[in-house]
Structure 1
Amino acid sequence: MSWPSHRTEACAWNPRNRQGSRADRTLARVEVSIPPYIADLDYAPAGTVARAHEDAVIAVARLEAGYGVHLAPLGDFLLRSESVASSKIEHIDAGWRAFGKALAGGKASDEAQSQLAAVKALIAMVDAAGAGPITLDGLLAAHRLLMAPDYYTARDSGSLRNVQNWIGGSDYTPIDALYVPPPPELVPELMDDLVVFTNRTDLPILGQAAIAHAQFESIHPFTDGNGRIGRALISAILRRRDLTRRVTVPLASVMLADTSRYFTQLTGYRDGRADEFVEYVATAAIHSTEAAQDSAQALAELPALWRTTVRPRANSADEALLAALLDTPIFNADTAQRIAGTTDASVYRALGKLTDAGVLEVLSDSKRNRIWAATDVLAELDALSAAIGKRTTGRR
């Protein structure tokens, strides 16, 4: 169906300092993109787009019904996978082991802390959407969580930008930029309009989520963190519309598998090709939920495999730790003792036994905060991302 394209407008360029090349220093005007207001627009996919949308909704519902209830740990697993993949799109990749250290409260790299912050922001947005309407205040609060690890970006977090930003091109001006969002004075009104759109209940669910994401990226309301908050908005809308209750659809892994296609699709939305972007997100949902079902099955089989490998005694610390590994795959000594409910000596013997058996690996050997992780769960996180990438690039 038809969807309004963005319009362009020439604005004066008045930087505080003239820096960069001669072209940067002499730039006087810049073409900005003005997204349409969408709060009251109708959207109804047809033909192949409608079929893809329906198949995607069924696939997500199947994942939720088949595994969301019976395999509770899958919820945390997919949420972390989605947040980490979203961070990787922004070239933030600490690796699972460093991320695990941050998750368990250990000393970790800046990139790992940033990935953990993305998890916290996604949790905040999804939980808020499950409890009530999506609000601008909620988006700003999530942005504060996302930016918290970086002192410099944290100072400007949790508020809409008051400067002109752009994507690509020069570091100093929007010259040769790939995309120049609307000027800052239009951002509050455009965001209010978008929030109304996100809370409607008369739109196809995935279509609404896809368009809201594309519109958010077009507005680019923050100086940094737009991609991660914008992708989290998809998950928030799926929760708000009750399509998901426990699971998170790992869509970012699809986008990560072919970032050039993802950005091309966003450009198409700005040209009015909303149908194409909705079909892209719907297809991504199908690929990612199929792979997530395979991961769910693999995770469900792990406890029996671990018990066969370790052969724990009944009511032992080994048995207690094994039973908790899917729920808590990364933990420190204090958490292990709380799970086992026994003495330090017994817990450390059990941890040593599980480590020797290859069920656990030590992520951090710090005397003050040693951290362990379930090797098979970490491996499955990588396997899920790889499987989604294979499905994405192999089925176009």
Structure 2
Amino acid sequence: MSISPGPSIGNATTPRWPALSWEERPWESSLPPDLLSRSARETLRQPYRAAVVPAIADLDVHLPRAAAAAAEGASALIRDFDAEAGGDVAPFSAILLRSESASSSQIENLTSGAKQIALAEIGEDARRNATQIVGNVHAMQAAISLSDNVDGPAILAMHRALLESTEPDLAGRWRTEQVWIGGTGISPHGAAFVAPHPDRVGAAVDDLVAFAARDDLPPLVHAALTHAQFETIHPFPDGNGRTGRALIHALLRRRGLTRSVTVPVSAGLLVDTRAYFDALTAYREGDPATIVHELARATDDAVTNGRLLLADLRAARGEWRARIRARSDSAAWRLVDLVLRQPVITTATVQRELGISHTNAMRAIEHLVEAGALEEVGGRRRSVLWQAGQVLTALDGFAARAGRRGLGQL
């Protein structure tokens, strides 16, 4: 094999950071030759070029003043939003985590309405995309719960939580095959990006984990660079993007930038996915500042959108509480917060979550139906469901705003 240097940095204002280098590897095709054209057979006989990821564990990080300032401003926004939402942490932490998971999935073109996601969460038959998004919710939950020690087993646990219900054969395992982005599914020849050969994944992940363990970098900068390095390694055959964005939240929580809620930064990245992917490309070419700028920009959009979502939900909660006619010790009051975070319910859901009998669950549901908070709908399994239409509308509105450019100017 041969290794060649990556592109040089021509802009003197861009900080020095090691670019990728490339190595040639032979390609062994499993396709019968008679199914390929002559030109395709000739292409597959040629070696392909795979990335060689530089070690970053002990590198000094020097950013231009503008990037450092953007990261500092975004960090202040995250702290403020975490404090604001944390006052209602019971319902809103779950809502924000689900919204972040849905936005992260949408970056991978996995889209679903809020109702479908809610159905999947309670075990009702739902479309495959919704089931995959719920897997991403589990990955985000794992990222937060394992944030004290962001190591190899923790990353594998995030990936396992993401894919165990849809792709169990791949879940929680480092890849053993070559992967690439773009081009064709036949071979990595002509791909936009060819990740490192699988025999380099182990060492690259060890280096990444050592970098993630540092505490001498500003938290948002640390999260951005860890994420970009992870995406460059691409250590899994599938689910790298969603796992890598869960990793952002693990770093933000480990470094104490968030304490109560998941700030929906993927919703900010979704506003301009081209800029996000371009920033990852720039990182691979030796420019760490662009991905820091992009995460800072996404934070601004995410906090704007998140505040609108919480305002909608708080308004709905206030309206319901004003209309509920129940005793002060009624489970109806606790049910309000439950349907904020789980907007489609069954009586079994209410019994389990509130620890009450079927009779008391039905009474609480009836109070919320009378208050206009819930309406009865049919389930796919002939079960009776109730949904909170205002919550579903607010969540779908959040998703729609996340797909718009210039959200921070709203």
Is 1:192–2:168 an aligned residue pair? no
Is 1:229–2:247 an aligned residue pair? no
Indicate which of 104, 107, 111 corresponds to 2:122.
104
Q: How far, CA to CA, are the matches of 1:217 and 1:328 in structure 2?
A: 32
CA contact (8 A) 1:103 1:330 kept: no
Structure 2 CA distance for partners of 1:37 and 1:343, relative to 1, 3 Å: closer
Identity %: 37
Indicate which of 114, 121, 124 corresponds to 2:142.
124
Q: Write out per-residue CA displacement over residues 356-390 of structure 1, whole angstroms, 9 at most, x where no aligned residue.
A: 65422446435664333322222222222334444
Q: Write out per-residue CA displacement over residues 86-139 of structure 1, whole angstroms, 9 at most, x where no aligned residue.
A: 11122222321111111112222222211111111110111100xx21111111
Match of 1:148 in 2: 164
Match of 1:334 in 2: 348
Match of 2:57 in 1: 39
Is 1:275–2:293 an aligned residue pair? no
Structure 2 CA distance for partners of 1:380 and 1:171, relative to 1, 3 Å: same
Amino acid in structure 2 at the alignment position of 1:46: P
CA contact (8 A) 1:299 1:326 kept: yes
Q: CA deviation at 1:320?
A: 4.5
1:51-90 correspondence runs (5 A) = 51-90=69-108
Match of 1:303 in 2: 317
Match of 1:137 in 2: 153
Q: CA deviation at 1:324?
A: 3.9
Q: CA deviation at 1:52?
A: 0.6
Structure 2 CA distance for partners of 1:340 and 1:230, relative to 1, 3 Å: closer
CA contact (8 A) 1:205 1:238 kept: yes
CA contact (8 A) 2:325 2:367 kept: no
CA contact (8 A) 2:301 2:407 kept: no
Q: Write out per-residue CA displacement over residues 286-343 of structure 1, whole angstroms, 9 at most, x where no aligned residue.
A: 2212322232233233222113344445544544533543354443212324567766
The two structures have a TM-score, normalised by structure 1, of 0.90
Match of 2:300 in 1: 286
1:373-384 correspondence runs (5 A) = 373-384=387-398
Q: How far, CA to CA, are the matches of 1:198 and 1:31 in structure 2?
A: 28
Is 1:115–2:133 an aligned residue pair? yes
1:194-213 correspondence runs (5 A) = 194-213=208-227
Structure 2 CA distance for partners of 1:50 and 1:25, relative to 1, 3 Å: same
Structure 2 CA distance for partners of 1:173 and 1:372, relative to 1, 3 Å: same
Q: How far, CA to CA, are the matches of 1:156 and 1:344 in structure 2?
A: 40
Superposed CA RMSD in Å reads 2.5
The secondary structure found in structure 2 opposite 1:230 is helix
Query: 5+ residue gaps in structure 2?
Result: 1-14
When structure 1 is superposed on structure 2, of 24-33 and 354-363 the one drifting more is 354-363
The secondary structure found in structure 2 opposite 1:72 is helix
CA contact (8 A) 1:117 1:147 kept: yes
Is 1:240–2:258 an aligned residue pair? no
Q: CA deviation at 1:33?
A: 1.6
